[in-house]
Structure formats: C-alpha cells, structure tokens
Amino acid sequence: MEKENRISSRIYQAVAVLLCLVMLSLWMLGNVYARYTTESSGGDTARVAAFVFQLADGSGSQMIDLKNVQKPGDTCEYHFTVSNEKDSKVNEVTTEYTIGLELTGSMPLECKVTEVDPEGSGISKEMCKVKSFGDDAVLAQESAAVTFAPAEALEKNYVLSVSWPSKEADAKYANTSGTSLLVLNVNAKQTD
C-alpha cells in the first residue's frame, strides 16, 4: 500500500508540475502577444488634381454640315476650340491631345485642320490633312501631340476646312448619289 501511495503521490506531483509549466507558458505567450500588438491612430487628407478639358464649337453642334460641298470648287469651314479651362476651373495636370481626321465615301474631298493664330499674324499651322482622291489618297491622319501645361489657362482655336478641289471635275463624280463621311476626333490624356 505504501508503494501505491508513493506512485499516486508522484503522479500528483507530476501533474502539479505540468500544470505549473502550462500556466507559465500561457503567461509568457500573453506577454509576447502583447508586445506585437499595438494600436495606432492618425489622419491625413488629400485631394485629386482637377482634370479639365473643353472642346467646343461656335454653334454647339456635334455634326459638321457638308451640304454646301456639292460640286468642284465648293468649300465649307467648321470652327472649334480646345481649352483646359471650364467654369473658372483650370486643369491642374499636364495634358496632351491629338486631332485626327477619318474620311470615307465616294466624293473627292480634301479636309484639313489648321490652328488659327490668336495674334492675327496670318500664320497658321496645319495639324492634319486627308483627301479621298488621286493615287496619293490619305483617308486617315492624326496630328502630333499638343501639350497643355498644368495650372495655366490655355485655349487653341482651329478651323476644319472641307473642299472639293476645282481640278477634280471628272464626269464620274456627276452622280448625285455621292456621299462622304468625315470624322473629327480630339483625343486627350493626362500625362503626369
């Protein structure tokens, strides 16, 4: 019996020692966890830079009326403006844009976009040009990129000229069912 009491006593002692070790381990893990959990608070504000790009024409129309171009020698013009300012807001990022022309159809047309000189010096800069006749027909073209600097109000005026050249008076164009479609694209993107 004494032997059984000794074994029981040793088992209780082993259980007590293991229980103490478990408690000690849990206490140590609690302290380790507490070291790696912290709380932080703070604040910050930011705003997005304004992107303003305005394309406008004098009449507010999105259609270019080519009804006046019906025979050799006829021409018409379409005026439009590109700006980085609208409603007193100026673009705050660098912006690039290109002007493109696409021409399809059976009429012999020559179309070009020209930048109008704001000072009236008479010097104009051709941006892009397409034509739908002859061996060197060019049906689509895009201008070089034009850059607007940030935070500086700028405006550029352009004229789209559409003409039926006088030298293209061939009898094959006498058909009244001739049609053409001209698409003017102004593509803008933020560069910074």
CB 70 within 8 A of CB 140: no
Quick check: 2 pLDDT over 60? yes
- Span 75-105, pLDDT tens digits: 998 888 899 888 888 888 899 999 999 998 8
Tokens of 174: 């006498």
Alpha-carbon span 29 to 119, nearest angstrom: 79
Report pLDDT digits (tens) over 50-70.
777 777 776 555 667 777 888
Handedness of CA 62, 136, 168, 158 (dihedral sign): positive
Which range has the worst mean pLDDT, 6-10, 22-26, 59-63, 162-166? 59-63
Residue 191: CB partners within 8 Å, gap ≥ 6? 93, 94, 95, 96, 147
Residue 43 has pLDDT above 60, yes or no: yes
Percent of the chain with pLDDT over 90: 16
In this prediction, residues 123-127 reach a mean pLDDT of 85
Which residues face 140 on adjacent strands? Answer: 102
Confidence check: pLDDT of 34 > 60: no
Rounded Cα distance, 26 and 18, in Å: 12
pLDDT digits (tens, 9 = 90+) for 150-175: 888 888 889 999 999 988 887 777 76
User: Cα–Cα distance between 142 and 80 in angstroms, integer?
Assistant: 17
* 172-181 exposure pattern, b = at least 16 Cβ within 10 A, e = fewer: ebeeeeeebe
**For position 114, what pLDDT does the model report?**
93
CB of 185 closer than 8 Å to CB of 160: no
pTM for the model stands at 0.69
From 154, 156, 72, select the one nearest 110 (Cα to Cα).
72
| Tokens linked to 64 | 């270019």
Tell me the sheet residues that pair with 82: 55, 156
- At 125, the amino acid letter reads K
Tell me the average pLDDT of the chain: 81
